[in-house]
Amino acid sequence: MKKSLSSKILQLSAICGFLFCVSNCLDSHRERVHMDTGVSVKTLGPHKYQFIAIGKASVPSVEEQDFFKMKKTSCEAAKLQVTQRLDELESDQKHRQFFLEQKEQKYFGDGEYCELTYIYELPQAKKQKDQP
């Protein structure tokens, strides 16, 4: 007995569907990235520093696999580390965070980690004119 064209199409569709499901199951395994968090400081001159900080996302955002939250919270953690370190280095400056300039931002592990590069430079004091 010959198989009809519709039964052949149905069999082919079933095979394709099965292969699609199997391939999705195999791709679902992902390697987790682990990085050490913290901040490194390079002194570029008096009152001039380069900060490279790596922050980790919040636990709830990682558990939920919420990529937006992971990126947001990991960068917030990195920036917090930079500002705390800057507070230690330039404790006598009142508006120190105003002089932080972000140079680079990278994400690792789907946003679970954020690496921020900042440059801090205290501007030169303005010279006052001699008054008679």
pLDDT in tens, 73-114: 999 999 999 999 999 998 888 887 788 999 999 999 889 999
Residue 95 has a pLDDT of 80
pLDDT band at 124 (very low <50, low <70, confident <90, very high): confident
Question: pLDDT digit string (tens) for 45-63?
Answer: 999 999 999 999 999 998 9
Using left for φ > 0, alpha for ψ between -120 and 50, and beta otherwise, residue 28 falls in: alpha
Instruction: Write down the mean pLDDT value for the chain.
Output: 82
- Least confident stretch, 33-37, 53-57, 69-73: 33-37
Query: And the tokens for 99?
Result: 């002089």
**Structure tokens of 124?**
């030169």
* C-alpha span between 77 and 83 (Å, rounded): 10
How far is it between the farthest Cα atoms of the chain? 115
CA-nearest of 125, 120, 99, 124 to 43 is 120
Write the single-letter amino acid at 47.
H
CB 19 within 8 A of CB 27: no
